[in-house]
Amino acid sequence: MRFKGIESVDTYEDVVVFWADLLDMPKAVQDEARKIDGEECKGQRFGVCAGYKLAEKEFFIHADKTPIHPTHDGNIYYIDTDDDFHWLQAEIGDELADLTKQIINACDRINTGIDTPQGYTIQRTVQFRDGTGLVLAKKDDIKYPFINWMFEQTPQGYRKYTWGRCHADEKTAEKAFESAVAARTQHERTDSPVKATAWDTGKKHSIRDQLAAKPVSDNQPTTKPKNREVR
């Protein structure tokens, strides 16, 4: 079983919820999923739900009751062909402990503003007076190595990523990012954003104060974090 990445993040008043995708599930877990979907079972629709308690400042792994084995809490979720959630139990011992460490580390990088959902590392950030902002991020991906995210910052200082657009090359991603910042800056009738930072090998640098590029449009895919309920 392998950790693929944090697919999406949901930010609430008292907790941040992270949805972690898993690959190479144990046969026992796949068999349980086939009881739900039969041969239509998709082997890449499994994951773990992690949470971060804002008041206690600590992480946890969420578990929920499974209808298949009602006396056990399911620690793995499976999304069926109708996009409904089912909780399954995985008996994997020490492997789960190592996997948990990887997931928590990825969650912490998102919490601290290093990474974004889907495994992108932040390169540039612009935050506006109303708490919303934009980030430009990248990852090692052949098809879409760059992404622009919009986010809303909560009163506790955590980001809720609301919308993203992937790009195939850095030049297009940079231009789209600067155009989005320019549009927001003009809308707010201010000369510059409140906060602007760029990330490069862990160091922050200031970026250009004035971003005057015209808005551009493209046909690259967009992505929106999925809202899922944690009971």
pTM: 0.76
The reported pLDDT for the residue numbered 82 is 84
**Got the DSSP string for 141-194?**
-SS--EEEEEEEE-TTS-EEEEEEEEESSHHHHHHHHHHHHHHHHHHTT-SS-S
Rounded CA-CA distance 118/161 in Å is 11
Work out the number of other CB atoms within 10 angstroms of the CB of residue 129: 10
Each domain of the chain, given as residue ranges in start order, spans 2-111, 117-223
The reported pLDDT for the residue numbered 75 is 83
Task: Determine contact, residues 9/17, Cβ cutoff 8 Å.
Answer: yes
Give the tokens for residue 13. Answer: 């008043």
The reported pLDDT for the residue numbered 211 is 35
Mean pLDDT by 10 residues, the chain (231 residues): 91 92 88 82 81 93 66 79 84 74 95 94 92 94 95 89 92 95 75 48 36 39 53 42
